[in-house]
Amino acid sequence: MNIPNQLTIARMIITPVFLAVFTIPSIPYNYAIAMLLFIIGSLTDLFDGIIARKRNLVTNFGKFADPLADKILTTSALLGFMALGYCNVWVVFLVLFREFAISSMRLIAAAEGLVIPANIWGKVKTTFQMVATIAIMLGLVLVGDFGIELPLHFVADILFWIIAVLTIVSGVVYVKDGVKVIDFSK
């Protein structure tokens, strides 16, 4: 297994540890530790892509597993934020709906021997979602771990609704591109 794929799998392994630390308030500085784990997971996404392209190590496994690992990490953060009351259930629904729809299209394409890679809008959505998550987690560190007062709910609402809009746009573009290559008559 090549290094980019190892990084993708590492991101999948980091995710449940991140979510556990994030949602267990009895762990001292749990938000700071969770933020660090999320940053590490996000960096594996950055580096697996750079290494895969630079060393020509792009694989079908990577094309499928990399966006899946991203979805697992970012969705776990949304669920954690929702559990804490910082994320609206509709944002989580929109993100999950898009992810299930796109994953279904990928499975249909795979059955036809096709791989539909992530598009630029999906990458923008994922990048913004990761950066916004880190920003909100930093706010949680300041509020929860250090007692600093911030309008965190207000900022989180704005960032999450931007994520929702990017989710919808990237989903529509992906479906539009997928419909062009998938034979739905089979």
Digit-coded pLDDT (tens) for 10-22? 999 999 999 999 9
CB environment 73-90: b (16+ within 10 A), e (fewer): bbbbbbbbbeebebbbee
pLDDT at 49: 85
Domains by residue range for the chain, with CATH: 3-181 (1.20.120.1760)
Mean pLDDT for the stretch of residues 152-178: 93
Degrees to nearest 5, angle at CA 145 with 46 and 149: 100
Distance of CA 89 to the CA centre of its chain: 16
Alpha helices in 24-84, H assignment, sequence order: 30-54, 60-83
Mean pLDDT across the chain: 91
| 145 or 97, which is more confident | 97
Confidence label for 123 from pLDDT (cuts 50, 70 and 90): confident
Which pLDDT tens digit goes with each residue over 30-44?
999 999 999 999 999
Q: How far apart are CA 168 and CA 171, in angstroms?
A: 5
Residues ≥6 apart with Cβ < 8 Å to 180: none
